[in-house]
Structure 1
């Protein structure tokens, strides 16, 4: 009798739509990025069969910026939930913009294990042979305060050279740096892959120095997120990071390289032949489980303070780090590698 009453009650509840809570909507994650193919964020969700939770727990909205530093304002204004930050940007976000943010995942690391380091290039016929030769010249920077900008300033500081006194910085979006070098509108600038290899092979350009020359191995760019967003959506973000790490591992797996390069080439509207550096020794290092190198990140913050780019320092760990998401992703993937 009691069982019959239970069945009747259950049927009644099921027949009343408002009595049964609807499944929660997926959390939309707005992620800032600035460069492709380095950051990879816009393409990681283009192959749904390698994602287990997309559209159920979360969706992703990539938002493009010129560099890392403009993402501080966007995060403060509530326009993005996560951003591709550099070391200086983290310090400025916390100390200047008073943002409560956490370092949550690796994006790219520079000069690690013999892999690529960002190149700062000049024309071969420019007569510029040393950093000192840039006195009185114009140098390109993708965004003041970005990871590239910090590395460049660190190299100038090693040679006792200062902006405005010894050279002039011109803000130029990454894609425009090679043509501006070619037209002699700037005398040096950071050139990303694949253009770095292409310009070197042409014989018309050469690398004056690299980011590793300036900073040593570095946590060049990492994913930072708003703390309140992390806490409010922890379950969904555990799903997101599992998929995020699985996607990066799929793209960087040598067995998938041809298809992975084709996906990126299609997104960038380029021929795969222009992306031969991808996922080789000529590419940046990416941690296999997207765990950032906090020691190298701390070094980057310290260098920014020494250069006077950040007014005050920052001890990154433990207050501004939350690796629980990538650690949970690693646990899940190792338990079910598929």
Structure 2
């Protein structure tokens, strides 16, 4: 091999890893449940032409939005699932600045809303009957926990004096009610469906009574990353929209990938996923910033936030869904 050809080969070899490094990597946090668009991107990356070519994703699973806020603050993540309260608290308590870019799960009339249940034959019929009782929650400090506190406050119940609140988690909530560990506890899908099929529990109140429509979770990206790499965030948001569109067009695919990720039986998921027994899904994934603002105002007025939060601080229109 002559010297000029050898130089060309060496140049090409040296350039290969450099080219690979030029593809930007987005570090994304995710969790279970209600992130079907992400599940499709994780399990079927070949459906997204830009993924792996124009940008890459490094996925990390978390158990809730609060630890993801900590990871964003530490610079370990660039984007993640957020809830209105966790986003606001991270901003007020640690100075985390972020942008809302796409909406995952929300509730509106005609669709499923998480609810607190009691035994079917329980004498508890109203909020007043909860005085002196034990109420379960999925976990202290979560968005649903604070929504429950809002409901109690709206009903004239002092949640610090009139009731005792204990953690049950979602999977164990129904059994906690049945065994008397709690008098009322929270049900979300698929546990609500399973309880309804068994028929021994009944709803006491739904979170839609606090606010409807209401946003449960959305995608957010750190301001530091998004301002530096807006083109990467735009590619990501477009792929989230592409994923949601595909799932809405093919519910079987939604059930399939959700079963793969959650390891829940497909037959059970098929009973509610992407139906009116589920949260609402929209192809555009456009965030309902008005509903988010209304909820944060309710939480601020109730004292759950140290001061009011203006949602407009978390909006950058050019990277927010829908992106054409």
With the length of structure 1 as denominator, give the TM-score of the two structures.
0.85
The counterpart of 2:94, out of the listed 93, 97, 108, is: 97
Q: Which residue of 1 aligns with 2:59?
A: 61
8 Å CA contact 1:147–1:221 kept in 2: the answer is: no
Partners of 1:60 and 1:287 in 2: CA distance: 25
Residue 330 of structure 1 pairs with residue 323 of structure 2: yes
Partners of 2:136 and 2:318 in 1: CA distance: 38
Q: Which residue of 2 aligns with 1:336?
A: none
Compared CA separation, residues 14 and 238, structure 1 to 2 (3 A)? farther
Alignment of 1:27-106 (within 5 A): 27-33=25-31, 35-36=32-33, 38-40=34-36, 43-45=39-41, 46-56=43-53, 57-65=55-63, 67-106=64-103
How far the C-alpha of 1:41 sits from its partner, in A, is 5.6
SS at match of 1:157: helix
Compared CA separation, residues 47 and 204, structure 1 to 2 (3 A)? same
Q: Which residue of 2 aligns with 1:304?
A: 299
Q: Which residue of 2 aligns with 1:279?
A: 274
Structure 1 unaligned regions, length at least 5: 1-8, 332-338
How far the C-alpha of 1:113 sits from its partner, in A, is 4.3
SS at match of 1:261: helix
Partners of 1:268 and 1:88 in 2: CA distance: 25
Q: Which residue of 1 aligns with 2:253?
A: 259
Listed one character per residue, the Cα deviations across residues 13-67 of structure 1 (whole Å, up to 9, x for unaligned) are 785355785231440422142x32x2226512212332112223112413221x3
Partners of 1:296 and 1:77 in 2: CA distance: 29
Partners of 1:234 and 1:14 in 2: CA distance: 36
SS at match of 1:22: helix
Residue 173 of structure 1 pairs with residue 169 of structure 2: yes
Aligned structure 1 segments of 4 or more residues deviating by more than 6 angstroms: 11-14
Compared CA separation, residues 144 and 194, structure 1 to 2 (3 A)? same
Q: Which residue of 2 aligns with 1:195?
A: 191
With the length of structure 2 as denominator, give the TM-score of the two structures.
0.88
Compared CA separation, residues 125 and 71, structure 1 to 2 (3 A)? farther
| CA RMSD across the alignment | 2.4
Q: Which residue of 2 aligns with 1:108?
A: 105
SS at match of 2:144: helix
SS at match of 2:319: helix
SS at match of 1:104: strand
Residue 225 of structure 1 pairs with residue 221 of structure 2: yes
The counterpart of 2:134, out of the listed 129, 135, 138, is: 138
8 Å CA contact 2:237–2:320 kept in 1: the answer is: yes
SS at match of 1:151: helix
Partners of 1:19 and 1:75 in 2: CA distance: 32
SS at match of 2:110: coil
Partners of 1:240 and 1:119 in 2: CA distance: 33
